[in-house]
């Protein structure tokens, strides 16, 4: 019985040592991720990024949603455009546009449209 316990203990210790030997450091994981993206030189050439998705908002009046788009441009310009369809509540669209004012300057504009297309802007 002692021989079995010693054998099991030795096996567990051997497995723990092997796992510790193959563990990666945080720096190694980051370097592998950078290499997978093409290397530091390739990442340094990226000057803009565009992301698109959808948003869903649950309210007591129902669920509303619509598209979301974000654009970033080096060194520090960005624009985020969110359009929410409010037609189920008897309205048109709510449009939130960060960066709309004078290009990508970081200003914020909110535009509310009714179902007939009349627009009210809020700055």
Bridge partners of 110? 96, 122
In this structure, are 13 and 29 located in the same domain? yes
Q: Is the pTM of this model over 0.85?
A: no
Is the pLDDT reported for residue 104 higher than 50?
Answer: no
In this structure, are 59 and 92 located in the same domain? yes
Q: How far is Cα 27 from Cα 65, in angstroms, rounded to an integer? A: 40
In this structure, are 60 and 7 located in the same domain? no
Is the pLDDT reported for residue 75 higher than 50?
Answer: yes
Is the pLDDT reported for residue 9 higher than 80?
Answer: no
Average pLDDT of the residues in 65-82: 86
In this structure, are 56 and 33 located in the same domain? no
In this structure, are 35 and 54 located in the same domain? no
Domain span including residue 92: 47-122
In this structure, are 96 and 114 located in the same domain? yes
pLDDT confidence band for 43 (50 / 70 / 90): confident
Dihedral (CA of 61, 79, 54, 87) sign: positive
In this structure, are 34 and 80 located in the same domain? no
Bridge partners of 52? 69
In this structure, are 61 and 118 located in the same domain? yes
In this structure, are 83 and 32 located in the same domain? no
pLDDT confidence band for 29 (50 / 70 / 90): very high
Report the number of distinct structural domains present in the chain: 2
Is the pLDDT reported for residue 96 higher than 60?
Answer: yes
Average pLDDT of the residues in 115-123: 54
């Amino acid at each position: 019985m002692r021989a079995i316990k010693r054998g099991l203990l030795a096996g567990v210790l051997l497995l723990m040592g092997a796992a510790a030997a193959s563990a990666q450091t945080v720096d190694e994981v980051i370097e592998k991720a950078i290499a997978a993206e093409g290397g530091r030189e390739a990442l340094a050439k990226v000057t803009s990024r565009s992301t698109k998705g959808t948003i869903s908002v649950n309210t007591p009046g129902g669920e509303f949603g619509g598209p979301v788009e974000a654009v970033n441009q080096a060194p520090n310009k960005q624009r985020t455009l969110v359009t929410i369809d409010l037609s189920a509540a008897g309205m048109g669209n709510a449009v939130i546009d960060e960066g709309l004012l004078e290009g990508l300057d970081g200003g914020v504009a909110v535009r509310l449209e009714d179902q007939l297309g009349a627009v009210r802007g809020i700055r």
